[in-house]
Structure 1
Amino acid sequence: MTIEDEYIRLIFGLKLKQIRTEKNLSLFGLAKLSGLSKSYLNEIEKGKKYPKTDKILLLSESLEVSYDNLVSLKLDKNLAPIGEILQSKILKEIPLELFGIKENNLIDIIANAPAKVNAFISTVIKIAQNYNLTRESFFLASLRSYQEAHNNYFEDIENDVEKFAKSYHINLSKRIKSEDLEEILIEEFNYKINTNELTKHKHLEGLRNIYIPTKKLLFIDPKISEEQKTFIYAKELAYNFLKIDQRLYTFPWINFENFDQVLNNFIASYFAGALIIPRKNLTEKLSNFFELEEWNSLKLHQIIKGFNCSQETFYQRLTNILPKYFNIKNLFFLRFTHLENSAEYRLNKELHITQQQTPHANRNNEHYCRRWASIKTIKALENSNKDRSTFGVQISSYVNQKNEYLVLSSAAQDPFKKNISRSVSLGLLLTPQLKKKINFLNDTTFPKQTVGVTCETCSVKNCEDRVASPSRLLKKEKYEEIAKTVDEIIKSYS
């Protein structure tokens, strides 16, 4: 049953229930007046049945309301938000099935407690407006929740990668090259690859590729690196090998029509990462690395260089492998960007496995703590000649919290955007179990840094890195003091 049919039934049921309760009628009372059974009326109010014309006439006469009013899809202001939600396409766009939620279940919830659901929906709408939550942000948040719910590991995609490699005789123990993948795209999937077209359009600067499905034509920016080209080819192979039709046609994407395109973009990206950085190969290298008695940054760099990938792709791949094969699930991934000489650092990609680890993005235009490894590596890059990436590692200890994180970070110039730096970071929650898994991890291996979340909420005293006063913290403390004083006055007079 389509959601369109269901919302017509549900709106009728909501109106019937609202009118009945306004007239102080029970279901039993309405049944007596109308001659319809109580159970039948109950199913109508829950949106499970829509009465025929003669039954609607009986109800309109019994309730002394017009027939047109009953069948109208308009709701009064108290229930209007529910009507807007149900009549819009939002329920079709929300990926309910991704989280095991059936549309019928949602309908039942709305029907059973319309006033409470209405208040909840109104609250969500206001929050979305206050935080400028766009359709894009909503879909990406849904995708991120889906990833986190699965610990960002998808066995079926991993298996598909290995099936693909076997079918096309790709040796996953060796470094994947773009020319190997290009040959498969051309010979097997009839692709034509053009490296000239994008250079003719200056306003497309920053766009790495466009795919024209009707002609199987792939436009590639000739300035992209070997790693980027390999990733793009791997994504195209994913779309074809997995027979994905609902897809995006540019990278980075410009817009999307539905959630399926966002989800399939993730699936293709996951496939590409798993092909370029195969799970067996990476797991073996990480196992050997974790067995080292002493921290060796060169060894880590050698592991990264062993794969034909960017640092971001490698760090993201760690978020797949560490939870599954090393049971390291308390981790986060962050990507920051920064316009040189700007006061704003933007957290534009994040993932938190197991729980919402600190830090996470805020929508309050606050200033992220400058002591984070993510930001320090960007600063180090901008203070250098910028021709090489900068790396950082530290143990971050959050003020007024027990949790500590081992944070690995690297920063590089954005190759497509002038004066933009970006960093990617991986944070692992320090636990006794983690220390057992990683031999070189001890209290003296890495520099420690006490950090906050944002300057506006941070209680660190005399912080030389602070760029804003702790305004939100001071406001909170002020109200807590007021509440304490009021409580003392009440108690003294009780």
Structure 2
Amino acid sequence: MQQEYIKLIFGLKLKQIRNDKNLSLFGLSKISGLSKSYLNEIEKGKKYPKPDKIAILSETLDVPYDQMVSLKLDKNLAPIGELLQSRILKEIPLDLFGIKESTLIDIVANAPVKVNAFISTIIEIAQHYNFSRESFFLASVRSFQEANNNYFDDLEHQVLKFAKAYHINLHRPLTSQELEEILIEEYGYQITNNELSNYEALGNLRSVFIPNTNTLLLADEIDEAQRTFIYAKEIAYNFLGINNRLYTFPWIKFETFDQVINNFYASYFAGALIIPKNELTSQLETIFKKKTFNERLFLKTVEAFNASPESFYQRLTNILPKAFNIQNLFFLRFTYKAGDTKFHLKKELHLSHQHSPHANETNEHYCRRWVSLNVLKDISRSKKPHEFEIQISNYESDNTKYLVLSSATKDPFKENHYRSISVGLLINKQLERKINFLSDSKIKTQNVGVTCERCAIKDCKVRQAPAVILDKTAKNKKIERIVEELNAKYNS
């Protein structure tokens, strides 16, 4: 067992025994003859006392020596022991969020009963919603992105450094051929294009990397934009010196949190390399200055880079907060099978706060008035490679409006499957100053809800289910109001 764990457990037990006997650190120091600073170091898990010092504490506190040194914890401290032994504190780099491990342990130790209840609640919720270890890791990365407004200056600088070192012209679209040459010549890659198609079970895997031979296996179905992104991620792993990485795209499973965060870093680097910040910022400024929304110009901007619509929209979530100070935004990725009644929210990001459109795991029906869903239905009926729509979504219940841009494309790996990518910007005074076309009368405004079960819109022609949650809430409020009236009536 790790020495560090033994020290922490002893310190927690000593602190609990001292508190149970209503002793301050000063008081324990006075009656034991051990210095206050020494006792403080023990309780924080920084020092483990020698046997003679343990004997003094045992006699002073009237606790058997064997009980003092035992690693067995009572029910109040048991969840702390489980937390320390679970390795979760080692797997999650708390320093990313400015948290010290000792600080977290201190919080737990100061209110063990309450924290025990909190941890048990979280575990129960996780089990109820089938919240996997991977889901927890991914949620942590999203929180990390949101805490940094999804912009990472050090990675942006690394992209510029790479471009300079390898004479990459960031003023024109990057090609997969340029990156393939670097992977082969600089990093000794072998690239095979026809192996993955031999294995039906691999499904929608785009690539597999074999580290021992530096072999990159690619799926036949990938297009030029996907190939460029995969190459850019491989370059990121090498140029940034990342060894603890994932070997498939998309991922199959994560072993450690480091793999999750490194996957994010590599993806961010790839997006920043393919869609350079200065080029995108300049084109967005042109679009935003116009009095009316120019769809042709926007789509031309999407197509100006050798990137998929998803990569482009992801890159918007980096650039809008940094270059335009537009931080109230969300990103959504939906998937849909033609003819199905279900829409699946597979990826989401919310900057500043949790915006109205967000994932639910309660089998409720997402609002069919969302532009994100409309473009999916449109592309499933049409032969177009790309469907685009813009909408102002008005959430009457929240008194909020969003400018939502949404694109849908076919999934090249699944027959009759489609995906939509959306970015929504909260409409407020700041956005009105940044974007001139917000008052364009041609942009459709639509009253929307979050799910049908919670929606107050009357006579909705696309409603999939009655507003049962909303009705239940209204009923409970009515009961509360009547009880208050009865209290007032019979208390006077």
* Distance (Å, rounded) in 2 between the aligned partners of 1:280 and 1:490: 64
1:378-433 per-residue CA deviation (whole Å, 9 max, x = no partner) reads: 11122224x52211111000022221111111112211123322110011111233
| 1:275-294 aligned within 5 A | 275-294=273-292
User: The residue matched to 1:346 in structure 2 has which SS?
Assistant: strand
In structure 1, the partner of 2:112 is 114
Q: CA deviation at 1:209?
A: 0.6
In structure 2, the partner of 1:417 is 414
In structure 2, the partner of 1:243 is 241
In structure 2, the partner of 1:466 is 463
* Distance (Å, rounded) in 2 between the aligned partners of 1:288 and 1:31: 70
| 1:85-100 aligned within 5 A | 85-100=83-98
Q: Quickly say closer, same or farther: Cα 1:104–1:21, change in 2 above 3 A.
A: closer
Q: CA deviation at 1:63?
A: 4.6
1:85-112 per-residue CA deviation (whole Å, 9 max, x = no partner) reads: 0121011112201111122222332333
In structure 2, the partner of 1:154 is 152
Q: CA contact under 8 A between 1:9 and 1:49: conserved in structure 2? A: yes
What fraction of aligned residue pairs are identical, expressed as a percent?
61
Q: CA deviation at 1:6?
A: 4.1
Q: CA contact under 8 A between 2:328 and 2:352: conserved in structure 1? A: yes
In structure 2, the partner of 1:367 is 365
User: The residue matched to 1:441 in structure 2 has which SS?
Assistant: helix
Q: CA contact under 8 A between 2:77 and 2:109: conserved in structure 1? A: no
Q: Which runs of 5+ in 1 are unaligned?
A: none
In structure 2, the partner of 1:426 is 423
Say whether 1:356 aligns with 2:348. no
Q: CA contact under 8 A between 2:338 and 2:377: conserved in structure 1? A: no
Q: CA contact under 8 A between 1:175 and 1:306: conserved in structure 2? A: yes
1:221-257 per-residue CA deviation (whole Å, 9 max, x = no partner) reads: 1221011001101111111111111111110011122
Q: CA deviation at 1:19?
A: 4.0
Say whether 1:304 aligns with 2:302. yes
* Distance (Å, rounded) in 1 between the aligned partners of 2:382 and 2:213: 45
| 1:75-474 aligned within 5 A | 75-385=73-383, 387-442=384-439, 444-474=441-471
User: The residue matched to 2:407 in structure 1 has which SS?
Assistant: strand
Larger deviation: 105-114 or 412-421?
105-114
Q: CA contact under 8 A between 2:209 and 2:248: conserved in structure 1? A: yes
* Distance (Å, rounded) in 1 between the aligned partners of 2:270 and 2:23: 62
Amino acid at match of 2:471: L
Amino acid at match of 1:405: Y
User: The residue matched to 1:350 in structure 2 has which SS?
Assistant: strand
Q: TM-score, normalised by structure 1?
A: 0.93
1:442-475 per-residue CA deviation (whole Å, 9 max, x = no partner) reads: 0513111111111121111121111122222222
* Distance (Å, rounded) in 2 between the aligned partners of 1:482 and 1:228: 56
Q: CA deviation at 1:39?
A: 5.7
Q: CA contact under 8 A between 2:76 and 2:112: conserved in structure 1? A: no
Amino acid at match of 2:138: L
Amino acid at match of 2:292: E
* Distance (Å, rounded) in 2 between the aligned partners of 1:240 and 1:38: 50
**RMSD, aligned α-carbons:** 2.2
Amino acid at match of 1:294: T
* Distance (Å, rounded) in 2 between the aligned partners of 1:347 and 1:252: 17
Q: CA contact under 8 A between 2:393 and 2:404: conserved in structure 1? A: yes
Q: CA deviation at 1:309?
A: 0.7
* Distance (Å, rounded) in 1 between the aligned partners of 2:397 and 2:242: 48
* Distance (Å, rounded) in 2 between the aligned partners of 1:340 and 1:428: 28
Q: CA deviation at 1:77?
A: 2.2
Larger deviation: 115-124 or 292-301?
115-124
* Distance (Å, rounded) in 2 between the aligned partners of 1:63 and 1:360: 53
Larger deviation: 214-223 or 360-369?
360-369
* Distance (Å, rounded) in 2 between the aligned partners of 1:159 and 1:22: 54
1:180-200 per-residue CA deviation (whole Å, 9 max, x = no partner) reads: 111111111111101122122
Q: CA contact under 8 A between 2:335 and 2:346: conserved in structure 1? A: yes
* Distance (Å, rounded) in 2 between the aligned partners of 1:267 and 1:166: 20
* Distance (Å, rounded) in 2 between the aligned partners of 1:25 and 1:430: 56
User: The residue matched to 1:244 in structure 2 has which SS?
Assistant: coil
Q: CA deviation at 1:167?
A: 1.4
Q: TM-score, normalised by structure 2?
A: 0.94
* Distance (Å, rounded) in 1 between the aligned partners of 2:158 and 2:31: 63
* Distance (Å, rounded) in 2 between the aligned partners of 1:257 and 1:302: 40
